[in-house]
């Protein structure tokens, strides 16, 4: 139909940017052991995909927070999100 428009898919065919804060023991996965990294990923990735792009293993992350919300690994991140990853802490 003329004039009928469909919304563009979020992130489809473009690079998305994220800032990842790796807390405590996860910092060694970020270049130079920095507290944060700027990451660019194609499409609309999950937070797990973004963390894996830095080499952070799934089994080392206990909590992921986007903004003020705690999210699951399958949460689809939006362009510009700040993602915080907190490690599993062990010891005694």
Three-class SS state of 71: strand
Instruction: With CA atoms as reference, report the closest residue to 20 among 85, 78, 79, 69.
Output: 85
Tokens representing residue 66 in the block: 């986007």
Residue 10 lies in a domain: no
Residue 56 lies in a domain: yes
The CATH number of whichever domain residue 28 belongs to comes to 3.10.20.30
Tokens representing residue 19 in the block: 């800032």
Three-class SS state of 26: helix
Look at residue 60 in the predicted model and tell me its pLDDT: 93
Residue 38 lies in a domain: yes
pTM beyond cutoff 0.75: yes
Residue 52 lies in a domain: yes
Average pLDDT per 10 consecutive residues for the chain, totaling 92 residues: 44 80 91 88 91 93 95 94 90 58
Residue 48 lies in a domain: yes
Cα 81 from Cα 77, distance rounded (Å): 6
Residue 92 lies in a domain: no
């Amino acid at each position: 139909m003329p004039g009928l428009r469909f919304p563009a898919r979020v992130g489809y065919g473009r690079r998305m940017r994220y800032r990842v804060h790796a807390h405590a023991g996860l910092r060694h996965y970020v270049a130079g052991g920095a507290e944060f990294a700027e990451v660019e990923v194609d499409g609309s990735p999950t937070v797990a995909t973004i963390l894996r792009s830095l080499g952070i293993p799934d089994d080392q992350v206990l909590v992921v927070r986007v903004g003020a919300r705690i999210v699951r690994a399958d949460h689809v991140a939006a362009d510009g999100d700040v993602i915080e990853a907190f490690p599993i802490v062990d010891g005694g």
